[in-house]
Amino acid sequence: MAAGLSAARHDPPTVASDGPVRTDAVRRLLLGASVALLLVVGLARPNAAQPDLSPRGWAPGTLLPLELSPALVTVLLWAAYLVGAAAVVLGLRSGTKALRGWRVPGALAVAALLTAPFGSADHVSYVAYGRILATGGNPWVESPTDWMNGADPVTSRVEAPWTEEPSVYGPFATLLHGLSALVGGPQLRQEVWVWQLLVVLSWLGARWALRSALPARLHGRVDAAWTLNPLVLGAGVLGAHVDVVAAALLVAAVALLVRLPGPVGLACAGGVLGLAASTKVTYGVGLLAVVAALWLVRDRSAPVAPVLGRVAVLVGGFVVVAGLLQLWGGSHVYDQLLRSRQAVSLATPWRPLLEAMRPSIGNADARTLVSAGAAVLAVLLAVLLGRATRGAVRSSDPAPQRLAATALRWTAVLSLAYSLAAPYSLPWYDVLVWAALPALAAGWVDRLALARLLLMCLAYVPGRVLGMTPGVESVTLGFRREVAPWLALLVWLAAVGVSVAVGRRGSGPSSAPPRAGTPPTPTR
């Protein structure tokens, strides 16, 4: 893997010291090791991180005939994420140059399509909801365990704790789930593989969209944060999570602002943002980010009316697409989302607070207070991060690229604030943060986002509630319940403290000029 990465890059820059070259060699070595460890888990036989999808039908089966114990799977994934995080730090700090072409992303995509998804059993739920839709049911009403009286070959394979839960996903995601079921059915492995194909294509499409939307000097950050980020690969792509699809749609909408800089582009961008929000409702944040960018990048000396007109076209495209999908999905699309809106996951700081409040005020009131507190914290973090971060855009960049970069900057700020503050949060919820992060100037926010994602990845290894030995369950659940919430609290404190300090100065590490010796980004 390291050799492939080396061959796919530009020639090393000519610098006075070999420090940057040595750093990049270490980064490639760490990347290769991390990705290899992740692939071993995905290519091995079903294990504590990877549900059994057999029989395989015409889809890929197990390529490594290895039986990985729950303890070994846990160690491999923890090592992969720790080593991968070190590689990401080096890539973002050293001003890594962009990959040459698509050879490395293509090789990673092929490797991903040969694995079985791991880290959760969400992909089984996805295709089960698609199966219900494709066979005439309503996935927002029917639960997998009840469909066909539990005799369906796909829906009967959904794992706890989702066996009795209808779909929480939007209508466009469910259409894609239904497509996976139609093309791959009626065998579970085939349906999951079709869904994997959609996820991997989305991951590649997001890279293309980011390179289209952002100036060439930021393409190295695109590859460091997205393409060659083992945490995004492991938690998002190799886990086959719907968040990768939704993030790709949002980034594609922003790219349309550059490709079609006019009313048609705005309308199309609004429509694609409607698809993103109809995949997972939290991705509606993209509409807010683009509206903010339209306002911030406007000509201050020009009348306001044209800007309001552009906003109206954008919102109109969003409403038409999202509205039509909502009409198709029906009145029950968001029933399950409303029922689960006060869920609190174990690895967030809200969980110990919930447990402390419940004996005195009751479960319902405690959850209401947690939800209210999370909303306040999210707004506070968004304000602080917005004041303390700086976009990577320059005044000399073309207006469409300044608009796109500003939209991605606010997407990163808003999505990071949400993921930090949310009472219910999982590693793949950070996928959107990393898709938008290249639009921010390099600095402390990179490290804050990485600390948050690494912590969540470690907390949710191996990721399933089945297949663990009592000893492994004690260690992993103990870390998730007893350690992760307090480390997440430290991340909160760091986010608030650094944001306030940087905001008072008006600039900070994120707005500092590149260090001497940093290799230049290719200009093509």
Query: pLDDT tens, 333-362?
Result: 999 999 888 999 999 999 999 999 999 999
b/e per residue 272-292 (b: at least 16 CB within 10 A): bbbbbbbbbbbbbbbbebbbb
Q: What is the mean pLDDT of residues 143-159?
A: 93
Q: Which helix (H) or strand (E) holds 118?
A: none
Question: pLDDT digits over 465-492, tens only?
Answer: 888 899 999 999 999 999 999 999 999 9
pLDDT tier, 248 (very low <50, low <70, confident <90, very high otherwise):
very high
pLDDT at residue number 334: 92
3-state secondary structure of 513: coil
| CA pseudo-torsion sign 426, 65, 57, 203 | positive
For residue 86, give the nearest of 28, 163, 132, 17 by alpha carbon.
28
Whether the Cβ atoms of residue 70 and residue 48 lie closer than 8 Å to each other: yes
3-state secondary structure of 99: strand
DSSP codes of every residue in 158-190 = PPTTSTT----S-HHHHHHHHHHHHHHTT-HHH
pLDDT recorded at residue 3 = 38
Is residue 17's pLDDT more than 60?
Answer: no
* pLDDT for position 301: 75
Residues 257-286: what's their mean pLDDT? 96
The pLDDT assigned to 295 comes to 94
Residue 115's nearest CA partner among 186, 37, 182 is 37
Residue 507 has pLDDT above 80, yes or no: no
Mean pLDDT over 153-157 rounds to 95
Over range 58-86, report the average pLDDT.
Answer: 96
Average pLDDT over residues 226-246: 98
Quote the pLDDT of residue 511.
Answer: 36
Domain layout of the chain by residue ranges: 2-509
Alpha helices in 422-510 (DSSP H): 431-436, 444-459, 470-478, 484-505
| pLDDT reported for residue 102 | 96
Closest CA to 132 of 146, 121, 147, 111: 147
Query: Global pTM?
Result: 0.91
Q: What is the pLDDT of residues 322-333, one digit of tens each?
A: 999 999 999 999
CB contact set of 21 (below 8 Å; sequence gap of 6+): 12, 15
Q: What angle do CA 431, 434, 438 make, to 5 degrees?
A: 155
Give the per-residue pLDDT at 19: 66
What is the rounded distance in angstroms from the CA atom of residue 300 to the CA atom of residue 76?
Answer: 54
Question: How many other CB atoms are found less than 10 A from the CB of residue 408?
Answer: 31
Across all residues in the chain, what is the average pLDDT? 91
For 365-421, write each residue's pLDDT tens digit: 999 999 999 999 999 999 999 999 999 988 899 999 999 999 999 999 999 999 999
What's the pLDDT score for residue 516? 32
The Cα 297–Cα 400 span in angstroms is: 9
Q: Is the pLDDT of residue 504 over 90?
A: no
Q: What average pLDDT does the segment 492-513 reach?
A: 73
**Would the pLDDT of 514 be above 50?**
no
- Percent of the chain's residues with pLDDT above 90: 84
Between 426 and 23, name the one with better pLDDT. Answer: 426
pLDDT at 319 over 60: yes
Q: Of 370, 377, 404, nearest to 499 (Cα)?
A: 377
pLDDT for residue 96: 83
Q: Are 310 and 264 in contact (CB under 8 A)?
A: no
pLDDT for 206 equals 98
**Inter-axis angle of helices 122-134 and 188-213, to 10 degrees?**
110
Would you say residue 517 has pLDDT above 60?
A: no
Residue 10 has pLDDT above 60, yes or no: no
pLDDT for res 302: 77
Is 106 a residue whose pLDDT tops 80? yes
Q: Measuring CA to CA, which residue among 228, 214, 205 is closest to residue 94?
A: 228
Q: Is 510 a residue whose pLDDT tops 70?
A: no
Q: What percent of the chain has pLDDT over 70?
A: 93
What element of type H or E holds 129?
Answer: helix 122-134
- Would you say 350 and 374 are in contact if contact means Cβ atoms under 8 Å apart? yes
Mean local confidence (pLDDT), 496-522: 58
Residue 9 pLDDT exceeds 80 = no
Q: Is the pLDDT of residue 42 over 90?
A: yes
Task: Give counts: helices (H), strands (E), the chain.
Answer: 21, 0
Residue 99, beta-bridge partner list: 9
